[in-house]
């Protein structure tokens, strides 16, 4: 008796509720469908474009100007929505998973992961669209971009034309070089740094000689299957055999050096938990570090740090998957206007007027031209400050005051000089081993930073680490990766 009345109560509630819901939901839908149907015939197509970056005050203003131009050229208008850097990945995940309406969206190896989301079906396959409406893109882009950003043989995003390879450099704070008359011409390997570091350590107790953080990994001649997991093949591999990086002689050697530097005090003692060295860069109390470079980077760094720095290569310029996928624009799988979206992307990557409008805003409002190809920011540019590298072909953008005239020429040379990494174009599909990968990431995080920064004794901890990784399923993942790699190689032939 009691039970049945309780049940009927639930039933009444649920029924009443669904009635309310369907009434609300239904009414709204009909309304919007009706208006859309009427207007579609005449009006331009509106593209919804999700982009990474701090939302800007004048975005709508500039997009109205963009729409004016694109409406005339290709019959589309553009609405851009910006999501700040720190929130982008999470919010885009929710938006795509829930099927939010959008046409174009930003993706990269480091933000809203390109490969992963391509595999999950978030993006539309672009090969046919590219052939039909993206000829301009194909002509301007270095072919390595489109080749390297293929996932399982298909393109899902348009890479921005920018620096293609990645090259690490040793970067020095020039004031200390000058003070002690240090020469960096012979510097290349990590071992070759020692005399310089020693000089600084002995003479400048307040300066951190070698500024690194917990994400530091010594440069090794290997190409990683997954960033930050110890599976890799040698850069000059011929048999494409995947090895555990922890078992390689190169790493052993490198860790020995790191340990020596750590114990000598060249590296800050809390490095294994340090995520950010901005207090050092602010005061200049550092001697050297190891960033990834791009053409004319020294100028850029000197300007942004506020004091002179110089750099010298630490590695060759190598084209990795992640460097190719540094910035892409994709078309959403649920886009209703893929053709228009591709036309727009094609225009964005080939038309200097449009590209600069999106990038720097309206001429005379946000910037003014002080030369044929040179722009200068006006005060209002604060209301429209976009991340240039994220919105298509950067080689179309105007030079800024003080930029070398041959800036883009330098980029092209840099790109041509890059050598492809052995795994370029191969992307590991982790869906079969996602459980192992979760355990593996935890096991790896436990010792990775202390080991790589020299904070712990490698002779003692490396074997422990290897053992724990094996317990977490490293061998399984390695076998799966090798299988996929062999298949990929066979398909390449």
Partner 1 sequence: MHRVSHFFKDLHKNLPILLMVLPGAIGFILFSYLPMGGTLLSFKQYRYNGEGFISSFLSSDWVGLRNFKFLFGTNDAYIITRNTLLYNAAFIILGTFAAIAMAILLSEIVNKRLSKLYQTGMFLPHFMSYVIVGFFVYSFLNMDKGLLNSILERFDLQTVSWYTTPKYWPYILTLTNLWKTIGYSSVVYLAAITGFDRSLYEAAMIDGASKWRQIRNITLPLLKPLIIIMTLLAVGRIFYADFGLFYNIPRDSGALYPVTNVIDTYVYRGLKTTGEMGMTAAAGLYQSIVGFILVVTSNYVVRRIDKDSSLF
Partner 2 sequence: MAANIKKSRDIHSLSPFMNIVFNVIAAMFSLVCVFPFAFVVILSFTDEKSLAQHGYRLIPEKWSTYAYEYMFQNGAQLLQSYGVTITVTVVGTLLSVMIIALYAYGISRSSFKYRGFFSFLALFTMLFNGGLVPTFIVVTQVLHLKDTIWALILPMMMNAFNIMIMRTFFKSLPDGIIESAKIDGATEFQIFRKVVLPLSLPGLATIGLFCTLAYWNDWFNALLYIDNPNLVPLQSMLMRIESSMSFILQNSNTSGLGSLAASLPQETSRMAMVVLATGPIVLAYPFFQRFFIQGLTVGSLKE
Tell me how far apart the alpha carbons of residues 164 and 414 are, in angstroms, rounded to a whole number: 8
Residue 370 binds: one of partner 2, partner 1, none (C-beta under 5 to 8 A by kind): none
Q: Considering only the stretches 174-182, 320-328, 444-452, 472-480, report the one whose residues sit in contact with partner 2 under the rule CB under 8 A.
A: 320-328
Q: Does 55 bind partner 2 (CB under 8 A)?
A: yes
The tokens of 115 are what? 């490969």
Alpha carbon distances (Å) from 10 to 6, 21, 237, 439:
6, 16, 66, 42
Q: Which of 141, 172, 176 minimizes the C-alpha distance to 157? A: 141
In terms of CB distance, is 10 or 490 closer to partner 2?
10
Q: Does 1 bind partner 2 (CB under 8 A)?
A: no
Residues in the chain, total: 493
**Contact with partner 1 (CB under 8 A): which of 58, 103, 113, 359?**
113
Residue 1 binds: one of partner 1, partner 2, none (C-beta under 5 to 8 A by kind): partner 1
Binding residues for partner 1 restricted to 127-186, rule: CB under 8 A: none
Q: Considering only the stretches 115-123, 277-285, 404-412, 455-463, report the one whose residues sit in contact with partner 2 under the rule CB under 8 A.
A: 277-285
Residue 456 binds: one of partner 1, partner 2, none (C-beta under 5 to 8 A by kind): partner 1
In terms of CB distance, is 14 or 370 closer to partner 1?
14
Tell me how far apart the alpha carbons of residues 420 and 434 are, in angstroms, rounded to a whole number: 28
Q: Does 439 bind partner 1 (CB under 8 A)?
A: yes
- Kindly give the pairing relationship between strand 222-224 and strand 231-234: antiparallel
The tokens of 227 are what? 């960033």
Q: What are the residues whose beta carbons fall under 8 Å from the beta carbon of 125, sequence distance 6 or more?
A: 154, 155, 156
* Residue 322 main-chain phi, psi, to 5 deg: -70, -25
**Contact with partner 2 (CB under 8 A): which of 72, 236, 239, 279?**
279
Q: Considering only the stretches 102-110, 135-143, 307-315, 454-462, report the one whose residues sit in contact with partner 2 under the rule CB under 8 A.
A: 102-110
Beta carbons within 10 angstroms of residue 140's beta carbon: 15
Q: Does 4 bind partner 2 (CB under 8 A)?
A: no
Q: Does 389 bind partner 2 (CB under 8 A)?
A: yes
**Contact with partner 2 (CB under 8 A): which of 265, 291, 308, 410?**
291
Q: Does 97 bind partner 1 (CB under 8 A)?
A: yes
Binding mask 212-251 for partner 1 (x = CB under 8 A): --------------x--x----------------------
Q: Which residues is 286 bridged to in the sheet?
A: 208
Q: How far is the CB of 233 from partner 2 (least distance, A)?
A: 20
Q: How far is the CB of 188 from partner 2 (least distance, A)?
A: 19
Residue 283 binds: one of partner 2, partner 1, none (C-beta under 5 to 8 A by kind): partner 2
Tell me how far apart the alpha carbons of residues 376 and 378 are, in angstroms, rounded to a whole number: 6
Buried b (16+ CB within 10 A) or exposed e, 468-483: bbeebbbebbbebbbe
Tell me how far apart the alpha carbons of residues 186 and 312 are, in angstroms, rounded to a whole number: 9
**Contact with partner 1 (CB under 8 A): which of 417, 438, 489, 491?**
438
Alpha carbon distances (Å) from 150 to 104, 125, 145, 332:
18, 10, 9, 16
Q: Considering only the stretches 19-27, 189-197, 338-346, 362-370, report the one whose residues sit in contact with partner 2 under the rule CB under 8 A.
A: 19-27
The tokens of 416 are what? 């041509």
Q: Considering only the stretches 5-13, 64-72, 237-245, 406-414, report the one whose residues sit in contact with partner 1 under the rule CB under 8 A.
A: 5-13
In terms of CB distance, is 14 or 417 closer to partner 1?
14
Q: What is the CA radius of gyration of the chain?
A: 26
Q: Considering only the stretches 142-150, 326-334, 382-390, 482-490, report the one whose residues sit in contact with partner 1 under the rule CB under 8 A.
A: 326-334
Binding residues for partner 2 restricted to 333-352, rule: CB under 8 A: none
**Contact with partner 1 (CB under 8 A): which of 32, 304, 431, 492?**
431
Q: Which residues bind partner 1 (CB under 8 A)?
A: 1, 4-5, 8-9, 13-14, 17, 93, 96-99, 113, 116, 120-122, 124, 226, 229, 268-270, 272-273, 332-334, 430-431, 434-439, 441-443, 445-450, 455-456, 468, 471-473
* Footprint on this chain of partner 2 (rule: CB under 8 A): 6, 9-10, 21, 24-25, 28, 54-55, 57, 81, 84-87, 90-91, 94, 97-100, 108-111, 162, 166, 215, 275-276, 278-280, 282-283, 285, 291-292, 300, 304-306, 322, 326-327, 387-390
């Amino acid at each position: 008796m009691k039970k049945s009345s309780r049940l009927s109560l639930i039933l009444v509630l649920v029924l009443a509720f669904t009635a309310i819901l369907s009434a609300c939901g239904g009414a709204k839908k009909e309304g919007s469908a009706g208006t859309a149907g009427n207007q579609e015939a005449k009006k331009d197509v509106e593209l919804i474009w999700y982009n990474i970056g701090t939302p800007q005050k004048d975005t709508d203003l500039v997009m109205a100007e963009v729409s004016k131009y694109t409406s005339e050229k290709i019959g589309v208008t553009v609405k851009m929505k910006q999501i700040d850097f720190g929130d982008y990945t999470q919010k885009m995940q929710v938006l795509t998973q829930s099927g939010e309406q959008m046409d174009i969206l930003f993706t990269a190896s480091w933000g809203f992961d390109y490969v992963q989301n391509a595999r999950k079906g978030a993006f539309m396959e672009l090969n046919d669209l590219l052939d039909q409406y993206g000829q301009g893109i194909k002509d301007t882009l270095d072919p390595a971009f489109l080749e390297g950003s293929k996932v399982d043989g298909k393109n899902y995003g348009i890479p921005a034309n920018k620096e293609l390879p990645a090259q690490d450099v040793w970067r020095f704070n020039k004031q200390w070089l000058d003070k002690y008359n240090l020469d960096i011409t012979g510097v290349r390997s990590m071992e070759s740094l020692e005399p310089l570091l020693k000089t600084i350590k002995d003479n400048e107790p307040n300066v951190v000689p070698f500024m690194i953080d917990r994400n530091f990994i010594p440069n090794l001649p290997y190409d990683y299957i997954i960033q930050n997991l110890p599976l890799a093949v040698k850069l000059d591999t011929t048999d494409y055999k995947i090895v555990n990086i922890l078992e390689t002689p190169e790493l052993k050697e490198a860790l020995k050096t790191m340990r020596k530097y750590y114990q000598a005090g060249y590296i800050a003692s809390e490095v294994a938990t340090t995520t950010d060295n901005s207090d050092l860069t602010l005061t200049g109390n550092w001697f050297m570090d190891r960033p990834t470079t791009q053409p004319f980077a020294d100028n850029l760094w000197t300007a942004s740090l506020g004091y002179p720095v110089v750099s010298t290569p630490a590695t060759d310029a190598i084209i990795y998957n992640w460097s190719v996928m540094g910035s892409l624009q994709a078309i959403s799988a649920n886009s209703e206007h893929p053709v228009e979206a591709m036309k727009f992307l094609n225009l964005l990557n080939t038309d200097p007027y449009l590209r600069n409008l999106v990038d720097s805003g309206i001429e005379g409002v946000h910037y003014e031209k002080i030369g044929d190809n040179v722009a200068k920011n006006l005060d209002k540019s604060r209301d429209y400050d976009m991340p240039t590298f994220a919105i298509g072909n950067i080689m179309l953008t105007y030079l800024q005051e003080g930029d070398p005239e041959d800036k883009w020429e330098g980029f092209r040379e840099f790109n041509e000089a890059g050598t492809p990494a052995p795994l370029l174009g191969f992307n590991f599909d982790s869906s079969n081993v996602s459980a192992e990968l979760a355990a593996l990431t935890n096991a790896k995080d436990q010792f990775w930073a202390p080991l790589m920064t020299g904070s712990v004794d490698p002779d003692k901890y490396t074997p422990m680490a290897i053992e724990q990784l094996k317990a977490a399923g490293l061998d399984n993942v390695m076998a799966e990766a090798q299988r996929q790699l062999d298949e990929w190689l066979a398909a390449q032939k």
